[in-house]
Amino acid sequence: MRTKKILLGLALIMFIMPSVVWAAGQQEADKEIVLKWPTIWVGADSKAPMVKALVDEFNEMYDGKYQVDIEENPDYDAYRNKLNAQISAGVVPDLFVFNVSQTSFAFYEGDLLMDFSEDLDSDWGDNFVEGSIAGATIDGETKSVPFEIAVTPVWYNMDIFNAAGVDEVPTTYDEFFDACDKIKAAGFIPTSQMTGGTNAWTSMLWFSHIAAAIGGPDVWEKDITDPVFVQAAEILLKMYSDGNTSKDAIGGDAGVSGGHFLAGRSAMFINGPWYIGRVKSEAEAVYNATTIASAPGSEFSGAQIGFPQSNLAAAATDDPRKKEATVAFMQWMTKPENVKKISFDSGALFAVGYTVDENEEVDALQGKFMNAINDASFINTHFQYNYTSDVVAEFGQALAKMALGQATPEEFVEQIANKID
């Protein structure tokens, strides 16, 4: 009898439900232009509160005229899969964010995305950091607006360096491996590394740093089988040998490489400014001991790795009012003072320039990040930016093979090259 009742109740719910759904659908029939914005900057993301505040302010400003609705998509990987499937089915969200890579530039094909090149030709375009609009333009069409950028310098835990009797961060790879030996002797792990995850993140960034030091600003124009990359692979392999990294680095994910640095076990680590908040709240001693600098130099020195992180994009439309609303929103989000608010609140960096008054307080580590950018002799993109995502995945697999002694540096670059079309 009990089951019958339960089943009956469920059947009832099922019957009522369509009307609930229908009622919810009715509310959207307003005259104002409503733009849906599935965004990843929600939930626990550090940019979430300020992004929401700015959207609210925008909606208030254009009350009755335009409205932007945030749709929450916290998990980035899942969001990307959805975006890919949606766009492949020919449905483009009104507004969206995407991670800039050679894979996502495929979105530019066809006429699915709105082209902002004419609008950016005005004063609006002057807001952006030099070269960033060019980086978002293909064949004269700027189908996305540069937004978040990232710099990923090396994080040095100076407490460990001092304990090992090393006072300065190494500036050449000879000094680097000398320091590694001293750090090991003092009982610490020299570098944080990982081959796991979707992109072997930390090690992929090490590789990018080494490649920039050996090959200079134009290194990514070279073929991946170029001797420069073989040399870079040799150095990376050395970082994986003789206890220069943790035992769990092969197969490890971002939790592994970040965890060792957070716990004060590893001396050197690479990540972007978004990690500042984590270190500050969970490992204050490490936060205080951290120095930000470039990786050791070789033929070139003082390089930094920086790259466009997320661009804003929108669906192409024939409706002039919708286009107007979209451009208004894009301009609002990339207004220097608004970008500054998000940046100060979250620690993130942007492709939009803004001025900082001397009396304004910047987070100490974020300040070191900004100095690192300003001091850089040149800024190179990372490996991930220059290849499609399946090639990036192959990087981690090939790296593990090399680190396990099953492939030479030559075979390592060869394995990656085989994956490139």
Among positions 92-131, residues that touch other proteins (CB under 8 A) are: 103, 106-107, 109-110, 112
Q: Which is nearer to other proteins, 199 or 208 (CB)?
A: 199
Report the site for other proteins in 51-90 (rule: CB under 8 A): 71-76, 78-82, 84-89
Q: Which of 400, 409, 413, 416 binds other proteins (CB under 8 A)?
A: 400
CB of 325 to other proteins, least distance (A): 19
What does the alpha-carbon distance between residue 232 and residue 1 come to, in Å, rounded to a whole number?
Answer: 72
Within 328-347, the residues that bind other proteins by CB under 8 A are: none
Pairing assessment for the beta strands 145-151 and 303-314 based on DSSP bridges? antiparallel
Minimum distance from CB of 359 to other proteins (Å)? Answer: 30
Indicate the residue among 14 and 29 with the shorter CB distance to other proteins: 14
Using the rule CB under 8 A, which residue among 10, 134, 138, 420 binds other proteins? Answer: 10
* Rounded Cα distance, 155 and 157, in Å: 7
Give the nearer residue to other proteins in terms of CB position, either 374 or 406.
406
Contacts of 33 (CB under 8 A, 6+ apart): 65, 66, 67, 321, 322, 325
Segment contacting other proteins (CB under 8 A): 138-146, 191-199, 311-319, 322-330? 191-199
56: tokens are 């609210």
Q: Which range touches other proteins (CB under 8 A), out of 161-169, 190-198, 287-295, 311-319?
A: 190-198
Query: Which residues within the stretch 347-366 sit at the binding site for other proteins (CB under 8 A)?
Result: none
Residues 373-392 that bind other proteins (CB under 8 A): 388-391
259-278 residues in contact with other proteins (CB under 8 A) are 259-260, 262-263, 272, 274-275, 277-278
CA atoms of 42 and 45, how far apart (whole Å): 6
238-257 residues near other proteins, rule: CB under 8 A: 246-253, 255-256
x-or-dash pattern for other proteins, window 131-160, by CB under 8 A?
A: ------------------------------
Q: What is the smallest separation between the CB atom of 130 and other proteins, expressed in angstroms? A: 26
Q: What is the per-residue binding string for other proteins in 277-316, x denoting contact by CB under 8 A?
A: xx---xx---------------------------------
Among 61, 185, 364, 404, binds other proteins (CB under 8 A): 404
- Which residue number, 73 or 326, has a Cβ lying nearer to other proteins? 73
For residues 20 to 49, the per-residue mask of contacts with other proteins, x marking binding by CB under 8 A and - elsewhere, is: xx--xx----------x-x-x-xxxxx-x-
